[in-house]
Amino acid sequence: MQDNEKVKKQERADRVRQRLSQLYPNPPIPLDHTDEFTLLIAVLLSAQCTDKKVNEVTPELFAAAGTPQAMVELGQEEILRLIRPIGLSTNKSKSIYKLSQLLLERHQGEVPKTFAELEALPGVGHKTASVVMAQAFGVPAFPVDTHIHRLAQRWGLSSGKNVVDTERDLKKLFPESSWNDLHLQIIYYGREHCTARSCDGTKCGLCVELYPNRKKPVVWNKP
Ligand code: SF4
């Protein structure tokens, strides 16, 4: 990539950051929770499921069991019954039960504060661990979901083939102090404006601002 292209990409990133912080100042955490443990469980439940749906089932689940000890006592079958409306509920109930046991065995019932320890828990991948590190512990992280992956491509900030590439590219373009807010701001923008196939890159202000010379509608190769 030539130097002037790099500058343009950095300029686009800076504009995205400015615009999104105006649109979504202090973006709220979308998953309801009361502490690190309930956040971890809510994030685990949100895999391939909407935050809205997760927020519908967690009040009853957390009223029944808001700690790892109480979750183990509740048992896997009852966890499954309470989270049944959520996709992949059987696997998720197993993960929640086993994860709660492991928190008691390995971490004195606390949620660990490192990526390695979090990612060693069942049902917890890098994205879930990143959300917990960012939102529970304030550690800079850039969890990349499908909205962020799509928008990074459409705004010309990454041509990565997968979320790992996209995370690496975005971390280079944005200051570390902005990551935790920015990942939420991009998700909010994506949900509001930029769904899978609904746009040709000319509809909303941000793309127009980033690509003022765009004459023709864009056909995206990827959803
Ligand atoms: S113009 Fe279209 S592609 Fe660009 S951000 Fe807006 S909705 Fe998404």
Residue 217: is its pLDDT beyond 80?
A: no
Domain boundary, last residue among 108, 135, 162: 135
Nearest to 149 by CA among 131, 176, 169, 135: 169
Last residue of a domain, one of 107, 135, 163: 135
Is 222 among the domain residues?
no
Which residue's CA lies nearest to atom 3 of ligand 1? 201
Q: Both 123 and 69 in a single domain?
A: yes
The string of pLDDT tens digits covering residues 146-199 is 889 989 999 999 998 899 999 999 999 999 999 999 999 999 999 888 876 667
Q: How far apart are CA 155 and CA 210, in angstroms?
A: 7
Other beta carbons within 10 angstroms of residue 221's beta carbon come to: 6
For residue 80, report the distance from its CA to the centre of ligand 1, in Å.
Answer: 38
The CATH number covering residue 14 comes to 1.10.1670.10
Active-site residue identified among 32, 51, 94, 145: 145
* Domain assignment present for 223: no
Measured distance CA(107)–CA(131) in Å, rounded:
19
Is the pLDDT at 3 greater than 70, yes or no? no
Determine the residue of 195, 206, 221 to mutate for testing ligand 1's pocket, defined as the one with the most ligand atoms within 8 A of the Cβ atom.
206
In a domain, 221, yes or no: no
Does position 80 have pLDDT exceeding 90, yes or no? yes
Whole-number Å distance between alpha carbons of 105 and 110: 10
Q: Tell me which residue range forms the domain holding 12.
A: 3-27+143-210
200 an active-site residue?
Answer: no
- Whether this prediction's pTM lies above 0.85 is answered by yes
The answer, yes or no, to whether any atom of ligand 1 lies below 6 A from the CB of 203, is: yes
Measuring CA to CA, which residue among 116, 194, 125, 210 is closest to residue 162? 125
43 close to 35: Cβ distance less than 8 angstroms: no
Residue 213: DSSP 8-state: T
Do 16 and 54 lie in a common domain? no
Instruction: Tell me if residue 3 is catalytic.
Output: no
Based on the fold, state whether residues 116 and 150 are members of the same structural domain. no
User: Ligand 1 mean position to 220 CA, how many Å?
Assistant: 11
Q: What is the pLDDT of residue 101?
A: 98
CA-based nearest residue to 167, from 143, 132, 189: 143
Q: Quick one: 22 and 41 in the same domain?
A: no
Question: What pLDDT shows up at residue 183?
Answer: 95
Residue of 9, 92, 127, 169 marked active site: 127
* Interatomic CA distance for residues 131 and 167, integer angstroms: 13
C-beta atoms surrounding 165 within 10 Å = 15
Q: Give the whole-angstrom CA distance, residue 79 versus residue 50.
A: 19
Per-residue pLDDT of 89-103, as tens digits, reads 999 999 999 999 999
User: Would the pLDDT of 223 be above 90?
Assistant: no
Residue 72 contacts residue 41 (beta carbons within 8 Å): no
87 and 163 assigned to the same domain = no
Among 135, 168, 185, the domain boundary falls at: 135
| Domain of residue 49, CATH code | 1.10.340.30
Residue 220 Cα: closest atom of ligand 1: 3
Separation of 194 CA from ligand 1 center, angstroms?
5
pLDDT tens digit string along 54-77?
Answer: 999 999 999 999 999 999 999 999
CA–centroid distance, residue 139 to ligand 1 (Å): 30
Check whether residue 120 and residue 48 sit in a common domain: yes
Q: Whose CA is nearest to atom 7 of ligand 1?
A: 194
Choose which residue among 15, 16, 153, 193 to substitute to test ligand 1 binding: the one with the highest number of ligand atoms within 8 A of its C-beta.
Answer: 193
Predicted confidence at residue 194, as pLDDT, reads 85
Residue 126 covered by a domain: yes
Judge if 68 and 117 occupy the same domain. Answer: yes
The answer to whether residues 19 and 44 belong to one domain is no
pLDDT (tens digit per residue) in 106-136: 999 999 999 999 999 999 999 999 999 999 9
Domain count, the chain: 2
Within this chain, do residues 51 and 87 fall inside the same structural domain, yes or no? yes
Same domain, 130 and 149: no
Q: How far is the CA of 205 from the centre of ligand 1 (A)?
A: 8
CA 9 vs CA 12, 13, 14, 86, 180: distances in Å = 5, 6, 9, 39, 21
> Are residue 17 and residue 106 in the same domain, yes or no?
no
163 lies in some domain: yes
Does residue 58 share a domain with residue 129? Answer: yes
Give the Cα separation of 168 and 76 in Å (integer). Answer: 37
Decide if 177 is inside a domain: yes
Nearest C-alpha neighbor of 129 from the set 167, 94, 91: 167
Round to whole Å and give the CA distance between 160 and 155. Answer: 12
